[in-house]
Amino acid sequence: MSKKDKRIILIAQCLINPYCRVHILGQNFPLSYELTEYLMRKKVGIIQYPCPETTAMGLKRNPQGRQQYDNIFFRNHCKELLKIPVLMVKEFIKNGYRLICFIGLENSPTCGIHWGRHKINRYGTESPNPLDKPDDKAPVLMGIMAEILSEDFLKQGIDVPFLEFPVKSMPGSKERKDFWLALHKTVEPYAEYYSEEEKDAKDD
């Protein structure tokens, strides 16, 4: 990697401040430390945007599904919050930095990357809890904030991977391994990293 390869990353605020998360996602400080320590060690600059749920509803909010946040008022709130971070991204790119990816949050109705079918609560609205046996045919949507960011990047001609921080996955799980493999490949594209399946294929 060239010494002149200056890299930045855009992440959801709760990846640095887990206290912002609604309680069912857990406040996993060790995993956040692992992420930020890795990025700092690799000299990747971090840009974060304010948590849209906290800034709209405070810290004592109840867990909700994507459906409840999918309204014109909350979408407008997200767009306002993204204005400055996206301008910062553009300013860094203009000055020779490389945006390597965006990192959202697993099972977040606002910042998740893969929001599939969820349970329906007693009020007939979407629950924050996913189905025990996910339906492979269910549409996979982004969280509201991630979706708006993706649309904004498309308009700006910014094409980067959207990764999902596996906050609910256990250490050693496939989800954790897949995340770190994808992040390593993004941060260090010239290094050789292989998944277990790729290693087996390489050995053959």
pTM of the entire predicted model: 0.87
Tell me, what's the pLDDT at 202? Answer: 45
d(Cα 31, Cα 63) in Å, to the nearest integer? Answer: 21
Q: Give the DSSP letter of residue 132.
A: S
Tell me, what's the pLDDT at 204? Answer: 46
Tell me, what's the pLDDT at 134? Answer: 63
Q: Is residue 84 in some structural domain?
A: yes
pLDDT above 70 for 135: no
Q: Is residue 129 in some structural domain?
A: yes
pLDDT greater at residue 8 or residue 199: 8
Among 13-22, 32-41, 101-110, 123-132, the least confident range = 123-132
Give mean pLDDT, residues 162-190: 90
Q: Is residue 140 in some structural domain?
A: yes
Q: State which residues form the domain around 134.
A: 6-203
Count the neighbouring beta carbons within 10 Å of the beta carbon of residue 132: 6
Q: Is residue 130 in some structural domain?
A: yes
Tell me, what's the pLDDT at 2? Answer: 55
Tell me, what's the pLDDT at 132? Answer: 73
> What does each C-alpha distance from 44 to 34, 36, 106, 109, 186 come to in angstroms?
14, 9, 22, 27, 11
pLDDT above 80 for 31: yes
pLDDT above 70 for 83: yes
Q: Where are the beta strands (DSSP E) in the chain?
A: 6-12, 44-49, 97-105, 118-120, 126-130, 162-165
Give mean pLDDT, residues 41-63: 95
pLDDT band at 85 (very low <50, low <70, confident <90, very high): very high
Q: Is residue 1 in some structural domain?
A: no
The dihedral region occupied by 6, where left means phi > 0, alpha psi between -120 and 50, and beta the remainder, is: beta
Tell me, what's the pLDDT at 183? Answer: 96
Count the neighbouring beta carbons within 10 Å of the beta carbon of residue 163: 20
Top mean pLDDT of 35-39, 61-65, 135-139 is at 35-39
Q: Is residue 175 in some structural domain?
A: yes
Q: How many domains does the chain have?
A: 1
pLDDT band at 23 (very low <50, low <70, confident <90, very high): confident
Tell me, what's the pLDDT at 176? Answer: 92
d(Cα 145, Cα 111) in Å, to the nearest integer? Answer: 5
Mention every residue, 6+ apart, whose C-beta is less than 8 A from residue 111: 12, 14, 52, 104, 105, 143, 145, 146
Check if the beta carbon of residue 165 is closer than 8 Å to that of residue 15: yes
Give mean pLDDT, residues 69-96: 97
